[in-house]
Structure 1
């Protein structure tokens, strides 16, 4: 049975981290513990390679690290809200939406997820909901349309 794209176990509140690599790793750990990855190190390598090609800081204090990877079992959208914003390349970031999509076999699923995120992030109301949610269930409800 396949998992939902987002679930309580891959949502992290008040995450304390100093670097984007540390955040990417903590979200990958959560995905791995939830049985979404074949190989955490392989997925991490793919995400970090993607980061090298161009920044995933997209404005709105948000970053969207992502990868299509043979190391991913289940399409996943993990979320972290940082306790303190960090510098992600040239931008301050406090929210991270990390995407994992299996490759091959999922086509442009990662682009569909990114597109839906971008369409929502332009709205103050969406960002405010994500920043003010107090439970993981609220985050899941906000993102259940993905």
Structure 2
């Protein structure tokens, strides 16, 4: 099941990836990451808003930066050591597949799951492992299936 967290007061801001990963019991270092369609509230030292591969350790270090908010971004989690050629970068800004009823799967070939930051107003979780889904819903009880949000937006 794909999930969305929006329209809630359970979070200070929706796209604090440190909080998102913690709520889902996901350890950044357990994966490598392709981060794309990036817009942040500021650019931390040593980070670029360009689409990029990051090892989990580097992502964990970046997320220790206080107050970094990803306004728009797609975090694609892949197995450690995996790198694929990226012909079309995953994107969230303007991506109709989140809302049009398409069977949504991670956009990046080889990705296990993706987390999309939607305009600072929602966090979309695609293909999260079941234990991560349960953990996230336990932390944020206002989380809904993405299909419910799709109906509301149509």
Relative to the length of structure 2, the TM-score reads 0.32
Q: Does 1 or 2 have the higher relative contact order (CA < 8 Å, sep 6+)?
A: 2
